Structure 1
Amino acid sequence: MKTSGIEGPVTIGVLAGRTGVNVPTIRYYEGIGLIPPAQRRPSGHRVYGPAAQQLLTFIRSCRDFGFSIEQVRALVSLTEDGERDCVEARDIAQRHLDEVRNKLTELHALERSLVRFVSSCTAACAGGPAPKCTILKDLGRAAAATSAETGCCGQGA
């Protein structure tokens, strides 16, 4: 008995189980053209061949690494075109790496602020009445500063 791979056409539910991509997501990917449309049985049920499993496994891996749908679309197109240079894949990955590093920088700044909030509360008011909590006051000041920087409608001042 074979236990790996697709032996023949499988339903969307079986494909979902084998790839870890849920059924609505498979339908979505099909709808946006990320994967080719499934064949249909006379009953109208979708059926997929081995290529669909390979493609969905690749897409899932890309998404697990945080690549956007458009980045995944570009990477998928590279897997299908032997005339294109792998530098394109590297460039997509480099841009994504740059985005991840920017997010990490933002998250580290957020962490530092939260550490200050918690330390301030621990030192100044922990156990006191909530309305006098330094965290709530600091958050209020941060919101006011953000409003002043962006103006009333989210536009720069």
Structure 2
Amino acid sequence: MRIGQLAKLVGVDVQTIRFYEREGLLVSPERQQNGYRIYTQQHVERLAFVRRCRMLNLSLAEIGELQGYLDEPHQPCTAVNGMLDGRIAHVRAQINSLQALEKQLVALRTRCSGVHEAADCGILTGISAETR
């Protein structure tokens, strides 16, 4: 199959496929005599794996590391578990940070109810007071 067909099948842009090839996450395919790249089922599977990893917010380096485990399936997966544990900890830290941000925003929002002139806006006053 050609690059456009691969892109459509997996649900990514053609430029994304080229990017993953440059980054080494997708092996460059053989070329026909006319110069067209010919992609195989292995490319479909590898690209789908990369796409799912990106949906999990894994970095390109992490994806490359995971691909190493796919390519050498007889090694222990301890490092894979560790990587995912680290990612879970990072997500939890982000959630905590977002919850703290939410509390700040809610507290600011309670400072202004009804219709006022901007000069009397409790939100603007609150933000200004926090920056001093």
In structure 2, the gaps of 5 or more residues are: none
| Pair 141,34 (structure 1): closer, same or farther in 2 beyond 3 Å | farther
Give yes or no for the alignment of 1:127 onto 2:115. yes
- Provide the residue aligned with 2:42 in structure 1: 51
| Pair 141,30 (structure 1): closer, same or farther in 2 beyond 3 Å | farther
Give 3-state SS (helix, strand or coil) of 1:120's partner: coil
Give yes or no for the alignment of 1:139 onto 2:130. no
Once the two structures are superposed, residues 83-126 of structure 1 have per-residue CA deviations (whole angstroms, 9 ceiling, x without a partner) of: 3211121111111001100000000001111111111112xxx3
Give 3-state SS (helix, strand or coil) of 1:121's partner: coil
In structure 1, the gaps of 5 or more residues are: 1-9, 146-157
Q: Distance in 1 between matches of 2:116 and 2:35?
A: 64
Per mean C-alpha deviation after superposition, the further-off stretch among 35-44 and 90-99 is 35-44
Q: Root-mean-square deviation (CA), in Å?
A: 1.5
| Pair 117,38 (structure 1): closer, same or farther in 2 beyond 3 Å | same
Q: How many residues align?
A: 132
- Provide the residue aligned with 1:89 in structure 2: 80
Percent identity over the alignment is 30
Residue 51 of structure 1 deviates from its aligned partner by 0.4
| Pair 22,128 (structure 1): closer, same or farther in 2 beyond 3 Å | same
Q: TM-score, normalised by structure 2?
A: 0.91
Give 3-state SS (helix, strand or coil) of 1:85's partner: coil
- Provide the residue aligned with 2:95 in structure 1: 104
Q: Distance in 2 between matches of 1:37 and 1:131?
A: 61
Q: TM-score, normalised by structure 1?
A: 0.78
| Pair 49,137 (structure 1): closer, same or farther in 2 beyond 3 Å | same
Once the two structures are superposed, residues 27-65 of structure 1 have per-residue CA deviations (whole angstroms, 9 ceiling, x without a partner) of: 110011111112222332222111010011111111111
Q: Distance in 1 between matches of 2:57 and 2:37?
A: 28
Residue 68 of structure 1 deviates from its aligned partner by 1.2
Letter in 2 for 1:100: V
Q: Distance in 1 between matches of 2:66 and 2:127?
A: 41
Give 3-state SS (helix, strand or coil) of 2:34's partner: coil
Give 3-state SS (helix, strand or coil) of 2:38's partner: strand
Letter in 1 for 2:67: V
Q: Distance in 1 between matches of 2:111 and 2:18?
A: 49
